[in-house]
């Protein structure tokens, strides 16, 4: 039995080859038609996707975090199952993404209730009409005179307060969120800033395209009859195509960038200029995961003197920065060598030196930790 993707590929091949003249291609087309005729379309029809309508809350999903911070089904007590429906990977993925959006809101709630952080809108002078993002600050983030901790996550779907969505869902909140770092820092007298480098745009639905105007060279056939005929043909082709390539058509969207925060690098630079550089703390410490390390190196390139004057130490975790590709000068490389450590996934015991890839930031073992900083 051929799967839906196979059917679609064969369909495209058939259409393409049917448009090419020549006896040899006609024979290939005939062979493909014969193969397609053997496919049990009725069986394929049974595997249509369910509607892409998913719950909006954890309660509706029938999941909750237990006392250990692990996500469990409220009835069975089992961990989250990605393959809720066999042979429907796209539907399962959309379901996972819907749960991920709920997790994002849940973590925001924890940052505000458990960690007592507050939102600060960026850009700071954003109007009510323009796209905006936010970061989280502790009450003393701007006023603490001694110590400030700045947390920078990696790239992707994770938002403020998260290191890795996969770890939150499949392991626990302590593994996948920044909450343990925040609470420990607050216990030790640090002000805290939680950046949000992946909230770079507002996504809005793209307006529908206007219907094409009729051709001036249209036939003498009555317009109403011609329109009905064209509609039937178009619908037939569209239904067949959508059925086997994209069973449920999703609305088209466009992205409106957030001013001065349109990329992770822009966001880190903006937060430095408008928050970190204006904070009272004499000593700034940074934890940067994955792409966050790259964004920090880019910040140093743009604000080298300021960073060197304020930042005491940087803990990177699986950072993907590259001083050569980013054109970091020698003085930056020397500063990274003295003030940074990059904990990387390794089978070696924790803190064991790992052979460096470049002569900038010493690398040490994170003892097998993946997709999130060590605790």
Q: What pLDDT, in 10s, does the model give residues 286-329?
A: 999 999 999 999 999 999 999 999 999 999 999 999 999 999 99
What is the widest separation between alpha-carbon atoms in the chain? 84
Is residue 11 pLDDT above 60, yes or no? no
Q: pTM of the entire structure?
A: 0.77
Distance CA 190, CA 358 (A): 32
At residue 232, the pLDDT reads 66
Q: Under DSSP, is residue 260 helix (H, G, I), strand (E, B) or coil?
A: coil
At residue 217, the pLDDT reads 53
Q: Are 277 and 310 in contact (CB under 8 A)?
A: yes
Distance CA 348, CA 368 (A): 8
Is residue 354 pLDDT above 60, yes or no? yes
Is residue 43 pLDDT above 50, yes or no? no
Residues serving a catalytic function are 290
Q: Mean pLDDT highest for which of 14-23, 115-124, 213-222, 345-354?
A: 115-124
Residue 348's CB: how many other CB atoms inside 10 A?
Answer: 14
Is residue 357 pLDDT above 70, yes or no? yes
Q: What is the mean pLDDT of residues 213-238?
A: 58
At residue 205, the pLDDT reads 77
At residue 207, the pLDDT reads 75
Higher-scoring residue by pLDDT: 203, 60: 60
Distance CA 8, CA 243 (A): 9
At residue 29, the pLDDT reads 66
Distance CA 270, CA 152 (A): 13
At residue 147, the pLDDT reads 98
Do β-strands 133-137 and 71-73 pair in parallel, antiparallel, or remain unpaired?
unpaired
Q: Choose the weakest-confidence range: 108-117, 197-206, 267-276.
A: 197-206
Distance CA 81, CA 169 (A): 10
CA angle 54, 59, 61 (to 5 degrees): 35
- Residues, the chain, total? 375
Distance CA 200, CA 301 (A): 21
Higher-scoring residue by pLDDT: 89, 31: 89
Location of structure tokens 């050569």: 324
At residue 204, the pLDDT reads 85
Q: What is the mean pLDDT of residues 169-188?
A: 98
At residue 263, the pLDDT reads 97
* Residue 233 binned pLDDT confidence (cut-offs 50, 70, 90): low
At residue 252, the pLDDT reads 78
Q: What is the mean pLDDT of residues 52-73?
A: 95
Q: Render pLDDT for 45-56 as a digit per residue (tens, 0 to 9).
A: 445 678 888 999
Distance CA 132, CA 259 (A): 8
Is residue 208 pLDDT above 80, yes or no? no
* Residue 26 binned pLDDT confidence (cut-offs 50, 70, 90): low
Alpha helices for the chain (secondary structure H): 4-18, 23-37, 41-45, 58-61, 89-113, 165-170, 173-176, 179-187, 223-245, 264-274, 291-302, 304-310, 330-339
Is residue 38 pLDDT above 70, yes or no? no
Is residue 36 pLDDT above 80, yes or no? no
pLDDT, mean over the chain: 84
Distance CA 19, CA 251 (A): 31
């Amino acid at each position: 039995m051929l799967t839906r993707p196979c059917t679609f590929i064969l369909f495209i091949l058939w259409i393409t080859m049917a448009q090419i003249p020549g006896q040899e291609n006609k024979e290939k087309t005939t062979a493909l038609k014969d193969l397609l005729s053997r496919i049990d379309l009725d069986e394929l029809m049974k595997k249509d996707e369910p509607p892409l309508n998913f719950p909006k809350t954890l309660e509706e999903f029938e999941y909750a975090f237990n006392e250990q911070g692990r996500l469990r089904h409220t009835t069975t007590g089992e961990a989250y199952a990605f393959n809720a429906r066999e042979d429907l990977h796209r539907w399962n993925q959309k379901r996972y993404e819907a749960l991920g959006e709920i997790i994002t809101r849940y973590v925001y709630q924890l940052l505000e209730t458990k960690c007592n952080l507050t939102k600060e809108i960026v850009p700071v002078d954003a109007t009510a009409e323009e796209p905006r993002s936010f970061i989280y600050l502790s009450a003393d983030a701007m006023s603490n005179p001694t110590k400030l901790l700045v947390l920078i996550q990696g790239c992707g779907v994770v938002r403020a307060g998260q290191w890795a969505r996969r770890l939150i869902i499949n392991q626990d909140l302590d593994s996948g969120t920044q909450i343990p770092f925040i609470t420990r820092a607050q216990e030790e007298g640090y002000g805290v800033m939680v950046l949000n480098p992946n909230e770079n745009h507002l996504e809005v639905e793209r307006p529908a395209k206007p219907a094409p105007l009729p051709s001036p060279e249209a036939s003498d056939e009555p317009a109403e009859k011609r329109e009905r005929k064209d509609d039937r043909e178009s619908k037939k082709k569209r239904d067949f195509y959508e059925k086997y390539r994209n069973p449920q058509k999703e609305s088209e969207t466009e992205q409106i960038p957030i001013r001065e925060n349109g990329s992770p690098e822009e966001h880190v630079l903006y937060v430095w200029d408008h928050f970190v550089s204006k904070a009272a703390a004499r000593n700034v410490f940074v934890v940067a995961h994955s792409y966050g390390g790259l964004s920090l190196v880019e910040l140093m390139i743009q604000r080298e003197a300021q960073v060197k004057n304020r930042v005491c130490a940087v803990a990177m975790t699986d950072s993907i920065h590259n001083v050569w590709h980013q054109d970091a000068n020698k003085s930056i490389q020397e500063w990274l060598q003295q003030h940074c450590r990059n904990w990387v996934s390794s089978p070696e015991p924790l803190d064991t030196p790992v052979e460096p890839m470049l002569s900038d930031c010493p690398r040490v073992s994170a003892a097998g930790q993946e997709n999130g900083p060590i605790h």
